[in-house]
Amino acid sequence: MAYSGRPNRSDVHLPAEEEARLETKTREYFDETAPKRHTKPQRSEYSSKYVDAISSNNKNNNDDVIPELVEFQRLENDPQKLVYNGREATEEFVETEYYKDLNDVDKQHHTVLLLTHLLFCVQFTTDIYQNDLH
């Protein structure tokens, strides 16, 4: 008997109850393995304490407790807060000869442009005066 690779219409099907049982079992499996996401709070509803489905599930099921979250919540509720006495940021830029040379080049470039512009303006105005006189 040759295998065609496609099922025939006359293949044996499971009873409806068995199909429904397998379907619910499969749905439960994928619902359990799906990543849990926080519910989005409504923008118009303000609450000082944020509660969602994940936190209520964790109270019932201790297997899903995230140790980092528990430690964060403990530190957040700790009445003794850390106080950091900050200070001014120190200057990290150290001026070297390289930067001085770059600064000099920049100044020279602007001086050349300024002189070129000035000479053009002088030449242009003298041409206008000479044309008016002739």
Q: How confident is the model at residue 36 (pLDDT cuts 50, 70, 90)?
A: confident
- Contact by Cβ (8 Å): 39, 53: yes
* pLDDT tens-digit series, residues 75-87: 888 887 766 666 6
- The two three-digit tokens of residue 130, written as one number: 């000479």
What sign does the dihedral 28-32-35-40 (CA atoms) show?
positive
Predicted pLDDT at 21: 94
* pLDDT tens-digit series, residues 70-123: 888 888 888 877 666 666 666 676 777 766 666 665 555 555 666 676 667 666
Predicted pLDDT at 80: 79
DSSP 35-85: PP-PPPPPTT---SS---HHHHHHHH-GGG--HHHHHHHHHHH-SS-----
